[in-house]
Structure 1
Amino acid sequence: MNTDSTLCFHCAEPCPAHSEFQINYRQVLHPACCAGCQAVAETIISSGLDQYYTQRQQPADRNTPLPAELLEQLALYDDPSLQQDFVHTTNGNEKEAALILEGISCAACIWLNEQHIAKLKGVTSVSINYSTHRARIAWDDSQIQLSAILQHIASIGYRALPYDHARDEQNWQKQRKTALFRLWVAGLSMMQVMMFVVPIYLAPAGEIEANWLSMMHWGSALLTLPVVLYSCWPFYRNSWRDLRHGRANMDLPVSIGVLIAFFASLYALITDHGEIYFDAVSMFVFLLLSGRYLELKARRTAGAAAEKLVKLVPTFAHQLDAEHSLHEVAVSRLNVNDRIVVKAGEIIPIDGVVLGGSSDVNEAMLTGESLPVAKTRGAHVTAGTANLLSPLTIEVKHTGNETRIAAMVRILDQALSQKPRLAAIADQIAAGFIFALLIAAAATYWYWHLHDPIHALPITVALLVVSCPCALSLATPTALTASTGHLAQLGLLVTRANLLETLAKVSDIVLDKTGTLTYGEPRITRTIALNISSETALAIAHSLEQQSEHPIAKAFLIEANPAPVSAAQQVQKHAQGGLSAYIDNQYYLLGSIAFIAEHIQQALPSEFEPYLNEGSMVALSDGYTWLAGFVLADHLRHDAITTVAQLKAAGFELHLLSGDQTSTVQAVAQQLNLQHAVANATPESKVSYMQSLQQQGKTVLMIGDGVNDAPVLALANVSIAMGAGVDIAHAAGDMVLLNNNLSCLPAAFALAKKTQIIIKQNLLWALLYNLAALPLAAAGLITPWLASLGMALSSLLVVVNALRLLSRQRRH
């Protein structure tokens, strides 16, 4: 039995040497200070998670058994009304929650929580972002309740709270202010120290009397003390945590350099022997913190895509009650089928359908499309978009976590929480480089101590500082984060950030037809006017179909009204497949060929016959004669031809795969000038076609509607699912194309290639800088303050270079 230790094995708090509470860890008994720590440790060990005690960087928080009051509070989280703001129902009983974990102090804490939560029956997935401490947990509500998950988290010494954007923003502001204050302390110290040392540097030797010289040096020491004890504290803390874990991080060389320079200067001041570097300490800490602060803000800018989407949705809405009065209510209190009014200039807070009014809506933040979109009765609107012109009355369909913008946030959060392959490799290189740097520093000090002892210390400090591989670790993640955020603004959601590397290598693009290149719904492709103009015929049909909810009516309603006509009156819907109504006291019929033929005596006009096979024919009549015919068929999206031409010009090989008949597919291929087109393709044949391309060494991207194309989308190297009109959280594909906007694809490919270029630039610069700085510092050609400036600028350079990915590219 280990009875010599007086520290608790779990929390490292003092406990009696012969404590009655014991923890059996790997066949050895260790003391525990209380029953709470014993219970937590036994829970961890019995769950097969004892590796936590070898990975942790600092002792766990002291824990006590969960009080009844806390258990009651946790049970409240099972209330559906309370879950509305932070829990999303994904499928049936499957739910997903966004939580903030408290008590996280190191990577071992992340590992422990992920492993412990994942072992719970009913939990389907768990991922925790170390930088934000934000956890996403999915579970089957029929097997385990949220309160039980929270209790299990609390049982190992942590606390989980619902993710709150306001709390996250508050934490960021606190972090920013603390960093700024540490910078201010270092800057003030540097300026005051320089007031003492500049006269020393400028005055001839012996001019300043010894007592005044000593006073000025002691003043410099006292003014440098806040820098060493306060401004540099994060460096010490981070270095110590990693050292306890057997690792060396990028703050370790900085910590060693600061402490060596300060205490060596203090020793020289006390013994009156050696060089004094208080001015160098304060200056290089100030320069380093300046670079870190700018880097902090730059990384916040690069990773703000999800937070920007959260901020889009307002907190309050104007609810319309049964008496048609407006009341200000919280958006979280709205229910499905409630009615709200969104005034001109306001942000739409929910997903819904327009019941009244007509306006333009700016959807640029969601789709990347800068042009406003007209919204009239029956149109769908999305939370986070801006109403521009006039009030809209909207029926609520989805709120909170059920909205499309909430799904976007979940996808972005998931993508940004993953560690890309290049970033992991860079971190491994950086970790090894730090150990090599410490060995090089020791060798440098030994060499200079033998040959020029008075310069050994400043040269070693400069070497430690200038070669810190901060830029190497920042090179990849900052670029990928910025690129992912820019793609979201273009209208392309990336589910995994490391897909950008594959996207940049794509050689072939496989396109589905229906719902991808075409609208996947009837559109007016041809108007055959007989006794009236085409504009008047379309205007009359538009007026008639405004009263219809038939799917074909949408083909007329989405067309702009080409001529002013009065509203239809006395509209009747006929079972035979048509409408009748009066417009300006004139009787009109609109419907299928068979419907019109039943109501008039004239034979089908010969002008209609050549186009009967192009699609469905809808005819217009005044009850006596045929006035016009409209051919309805699925046709190409407005941006398909331009997008395909741009992709071909960029060097991609394009393939069209469709289950439609040969004549239809060939017509589309001819319009798009595609050389590779396959018709009558089954899901199995699409998979075979994809496999044949990949066997030829091609890197293939598949674009489909995410429904019947799911197998081939899963097989592709990269897949993009069309996202309009479906739950984008469930859309098949590695990426989701919001609002089916094909025009953003060329820019997305260009951005992916630019991302790889910038990553390579950053890595090359970071490697060259460190390889060049190391011998220069070892040779004594770099002073400590110049070393700190070089390291800060090096880190800042890679971040600023990555921020170039946020700039909007010109849309063609």
Structure 2
Amino acid sequence: MNKPPDMEAACYHCGLPVPGNTHFHASILGERRRMCCHGCQAVAESIVENGLESYYQHRTELPQTADELVPEELRQLELYDHPEVQKSFVHDESGDVLEASLILEGITCAACIWLNERHLQQLDGVVSASINYSSHRARVRWDDRKIRLSHILTEIRKLGYHAHPFSAQQQEAVREQQRRQDFRRLAIAGLSAAQVMMVAVAFYAGPAQGLEPATEQLLRWFSLVMTLPAMIYSAWPFYQSAWRSITHRSVGMDVPISLGLVTGFIGSVWVTFQGQGIVYYDTLTMLIFFLLATRYLERHAREKSVEAAENLHRLIPPMATRLDEQQQASIVPLHDLRVGDTLLIKPGEAIAGDGVVTQGESQVDEALLTGESHPVPKQPGAYVYAGSVNYESPLQVKITGLGEQTVIAGIARLLDRAQAEKPRLARVADQVAIYFTTVLLLAVIVIGLAWWWIASERCFEIILAVLVVSCPCALSLAAPAAFAAAGSHLVGRGVLLTRGHALESLARVTHVVFDKTGTLTMGHPRITNTMTYQGADASEMLRIAASLEQASEHPLARSFTDAVPATERYVVLEANNQPGRGLSGEVLGKRYFIGNMALNSQLVYPEIAGLEPGASIVWLSDAQQVLAAFVLADTMRPGVTALIDQLKARKIAVSILSGDTASSVQHFAAIAGIGDWQAGLTPEGKLTALRDMQQRGDVVAMVGDGINDAPVLAGAQVSFAMGNGTQMARASGDIVLLGESLQEIEHALATGRFTVSVVRQNFTWALVYNAVALPFAATGLIAPWMAAIGMSVSSLIVILNALRLR
């Protein structure tokens, strides 16, 4: 077995001779080591920087090949820099700015989130880093020209955490492993507490029952032995978290907890060796057990809160049926699919990527994406989305988006952004918790010195009770638990929060402003009336019209094809399209014409009066006479009138800001019952009108869907973007309505107010509890075991109150 050569004779890294004219060095294991070349120096420095210096301590022989010069751990991280590997979890935002979705292992409290975010944001090249406390998912954006993903992962590892690419299956496996580990720690703490408490009964009853000193000392030693598993194994996460906080000059919740445990244990061990005095093994084991039980339940509640969001990722199937050029089917894993592939989607199967139906007709369930409970009909040319489920018959779908390029991935990114952006109330709670913990530690010193002077035998007991009873766990959980539960509830209804402040802002809304086209209305014309002539049957005329229009690319053609299923349309022969006029074709051996009056100008067209503003007329005729007139107009979305009535009942003002004509806006405003409206506005005009409302003191919620709505959506205190609107509108909106129902706006407003109410209740409870409990503990009126129970119950009350939002 070869040992590393002397650094004066050979390269410390690879073992090759060092040329006499070179001066390469690297600091390894506290000493300056010589290197043979710049390459070895760079690799050695990278190993040291990445916290893998133990590689040099544990290697038993020198590497024989170049590949062996780099530790396996470092090489695995560097694999994540490969573009092919990054395809499944990295989103290319713009040029060299990339965004990755990662899972973080080792997160135990809000202080862990703060530590990781602060450290990553200080790295040169990292644009932003946000971590979702509920799901432990991190979104990191970086400039690939300045920093590599492997470097970011190693920086996280230096802090004592582990990060790896997100996948729904892998995250569930990590969670399951964490649950098992948490349960083991909880079980061992429970067994230790049970054994020590049985012995404690003898201590409490000893003076009255004549407990002999020798027996009492034996029981102290037995309690010490039974306490060790809980103190060493079960409480280890508290020590880890506290040490991270101290080494990075921050004060986390686990600092006072760890101080209390260590102080109480050292004091009890001292008494055990002295052979007289009070030991606190029962209090320590109970505290560990109650803390672990509370966090176990809190973790379970937190995972329940993000369940709706996580379901989005689980929708994507791991395998898909791909068709080759000969229409031969083969089952392939998801990572082998490429844009342009054709998939066969059988009934009951989920769709693996976004795409366009090329063959087949069916009903597709998009409920978990849109919140709509009814299936959506799909036919050739229709778009389908990854994660939706085919219901009735096979479909062939040409893939247009995979992985991070799918709609469902975009929804997940917006959701992560919302959950990672902390609302003002959550930020305030974090700051208060940090200040409170700092003040608590100072108070412990003062209280400890006072009791050492007053009654030194009670000093350890009082310090332990103060540290335990006033831990700000409930305060730190007050806001995150409530916002996570509310966000989960709204996602399940097809309301996606994309900004952290959205719920808080919703609670203060006094004025709701709507765009008209595509928001209050459906945004595309529909057939509102059919008039027939010469005794023609209305349904038959509509069937013939839809058959003709299926050969047209005119925007109005969709109004007809949506009204008649493809299976009920006739075959059209010799179709002739005349741009600007309409088209003609032969149906059942007879030639028909559909379009405007100019298409068949020799006919006499009847007068039609009483058309609503903005309506269009499409005429159907044969060679001799007019057969039907179809009135097409934009229609009001279902439930608009009920929504306006609900908003007015809440004393919320309602307005319309639209770029459409005055007659059209007035018509729809009258139907909806909205008295305040403005028409013919440019995007700048809408923003000016919005500013005027805000200057009057209104807190405005804007609802829109188009590119021209993006500025005013961004300018409002909170904004709703329609899920079927443009990408720019969705990016500008604080909330995205994935479904078609505007009723969710009123529900979101109600949820926002309820959420802020719950957060305030949680804050009040946490502050009152700490304000009352701390003086009692400081004066010795609360025993340490009572403090442990009180602190745990306080946190549970906050969690259970927040879960009312689900």
Q: Tell me which amino acid in the other structure corresponds to 2:677.
A: A
- Aligned partner of 1:346 in structure 2 is 349
- Aligned partner of 1:31 in structure 2 is none
**1:721–1:735 contact (8 Å) kept in structure 2:** yes
- CA distance in 1 between counterparts of 2:316 and 2:446 reads 58
- Aligned partner of 1:603 in structure 2 is 604
Within 5 Å, give how 1:51-200 maps onto structure 2: 62=53, 80-91=83-94, 95-99=98-102, 110-118=117-125, 125-129=127-131, 132=136, 134-139=138-143, 144=145, 148=148, 150=150, 162-199=165-202
Picking from 400, 405, 408, the partner of 1:405 is: 408
- Aligned partner of 1:785 in structure 2 is 785
Q: Tell me which amino acid in the other structure corresponds to 1:256.
A: L
SS of corresponding position for 1:441: helix
- Aligned partner of 1:723 in structure 2 is 723
SS of corresponding position for 1:117: coil
Change (3 A) 1:383 1:566: closer
Change (3 A) 1:339 1:474: same
- Aligned partner of 2:710 in structure 1 is 710
Within 5 Å, give how 1:566-645 maps onto structure 2: 567-570=570-573, 572-575=575-578, 577-581=581-585, 585=588, 587=590, 589-594=592-597, 597-598=600-601, 602-606=603-607, 608-611=608-611, 614-645=614-645
- Aligned partner of 2:538 in structure 1 is 534
Picking from 412, 427, 446, the partner of 2:430 is: 427
Shift of 1:703: 1.8
Shift of 1:586: 5.9
Shift of 1:366: 1.3
Q: Tell me which amino acid in the other structure corresponds to 2:573.
A: Q
Change (3 A) 1:548 1:106: closer
1:290 equivalent to 2:297? Answer no
Q: Tell me which amino acid in the other structure corresponds to 1:232.
A: A
Shift of 1:289: 1.0
Q: Tell me which amino acid in the other structure corresponds to 1:556.
A: F
**Structure 1: gaps (5+ residues):** 1-10, 22-33, 44-58, 808-812
- CA distance in 2 between counterparts of 1:106 and 1:391 reads 46
SS of corresponding position for 2:184: helix
**2:80–2:149 contact (8 Å) kept in structure 1:** no
**Structure 2: gaps (5+ residues):** 1-25, 35-39, 57-65
Aligned-pair identity in percent equals 39
CA deviation profile, 1:50-75 (whole Å, cap 9, x unmatched) = xxxxxxxxx96649999886999888
Picking from 256, 259, 262, the partner of 1:259 is: 262
Change (3 A) 1:225 1:76: closer
**1:479–1:802 contact (8 Å) kept in structure 2:** yes
Shift of 1:400: 1.3
- Aligned partner of 1:15 in structure 2 is 30
SS of corresponding position for 1:708: helix
CA deviation profile, 1:150-205 (whole Å, cap 9, x unmatched) = 46876998698544444433433333222221111101112222333335545773
SS of corresponding position for 1:627: strand
**1:596–1:621 contact (8 Å) kept in structure 2:** no
- CA distance in 2 between counterparts of 1:350 and 1:560 reads 28
- CA distance in 1 between counterparts of 2:477 and 2:612 reads 62
CA deviation profile, 1:750-772 (whole Å, cap 9, x unmatched) = 11111111110111111011111
- CA distance in 1 between counterparts of 2:209 and 2:750 reads 65
- CA distance in 1 between counterparts of 2:284 and 2:90 reads 50
**2:364–2:389 contact (8 Å) kept in structure 1:** yes
Coordinate RMSD, CA, aligned: 3.7
- Aligned partner of 1:369 in structure 2 is 372
**1:291–1:792 contact (8 Å) kept in structure 2:** yes
Q: Tell me which amino acid in the other structure corresponds to 1:687.
A: L
Change (3 A) 1:91 1:508: same
Change (3 A) 1:435 1:81: closer
Shift of 1:564: 9.5
Segment of structure 1 superposing worse, 91-100 or 382-391: 91-100
SS of corresponding position for 1:521: coil
Q: Tell me which amino acid in the other structure corresponds to 1:438.
A: L
CA deviation profile, 1:688-721 (whole Å, cap 9, x unmatched) = 2111111111111222224012222222222222
Q: Tell me which amino acid in the other structure corresponds to 1:637.
A: R
Change (3 A) 1:445 1:37: farther
- CA distance in 2 between counterparts of 1:536 and 1:363 reads 32
Segment of structure 1 superposing worse, 532-541 or 660-669: 532-541
- CA distance in 2 between counterparts of 1:77 and 1:189 reads 43
Change (3 A) 1:696 1:727: closer
- Aligned partner of 2:6 in structure 1 is none
Shift of 1:305: 4.7
Q: Tell me which amino acid in the other structure corresponds to 1:693.
A: M
Segment of structure 1 superposing worse, 610-619 or 402-411: 610-619
Q: Tell me which amino acid in the other structure corresponds to 1:269.
A: T
- Aligned partner of 2:388 in structure 1 is 385
- CA distance in 2 between counterparts of 1:241 and 1:80 reads 33
- Aligned partner of 1:551 in structure 2 is 555
SS of corresponding position for 1:205: helix
**2:131–2:137 contact (8 Å) kept in structure 1:** yes
TM-score scaled to structure 1, two decimals? 0.83
Q: Tell me which amino acid in the other structure corresponds to 1:180.
A: F
- Aligned partner of 2:759 in structure 1 is 759
Change (3 A) 1:331 1:106: closer
Change (3 A) 1:381 1:75: same
Change (3 A) 1:61 1:758: farther
- CA distance in 1 between counterparts of 2:48 and 2:188 reads 45
- Aligned partner of 2:476 in structure 1 is 473
- CA distance in 2 between counterparts of 1:621 and 1:191 reads 90
- CA distance in 2 between counterparts of 1:15 and 1:565 reads 82
- Aligned partner of 1:458 in structure 2 is 461
- CA distance in 2 between counterparts of 1:514 and 1:247 reads 52
Q: Tell me which amino acid in the other structure corresponds to 2:200.
A: V
Segment of structure 1 superposing worse, 100-109 or 244-253: 100-109
Q: Tell me which amino acid in the other structure corresponds to 2:289.
A: F
- CA distance in 2 between counterparts of 1:102 and 1:775 reads 38
CA deviation profile, 1:383-407 (whole Å, cap 9, x unmatched) = 1222233332222221111111011
**2:479–2:762 contact (8 Å) kept in structure 1:** yes
SS of corresponding position for 2:630: strand
- CA distance in 2 between counterparts of 1:149 and 1:465 reads 40
Segment of structure 1 superposing worse, 234-243 or 206-215: 206-215
**2:116–2:156 contact (8 Å) kept in structure 1:** no
**1:126–1:136 contact (8 Å) kept in structure 2:** yes
**1:516–1:703 contact (8 Å) kept in structure 2:** yes
Shift of 1:592: 1.3
SS of corresponding position for 1:490: coil
Segment of structure 1 superposing worse, 792-801 or 672-681: 792-801
Picking from 475, 490, 495, the partner of 2:493 is: 490
Change (3 A) 1:216 1:792: same
Q: Tell me which amino acid in the other structure corresponds to 1:645.
A: D
Shift of 1:130: 7.8
- CA distance in 1 between counterparts of 2:542 and 2:435 reads 72
Picking from 214, 217, 222, the partner of 2:220 is: 217
SS of corresponding position for 1:731: helix
Shift of 1:737: 2.7
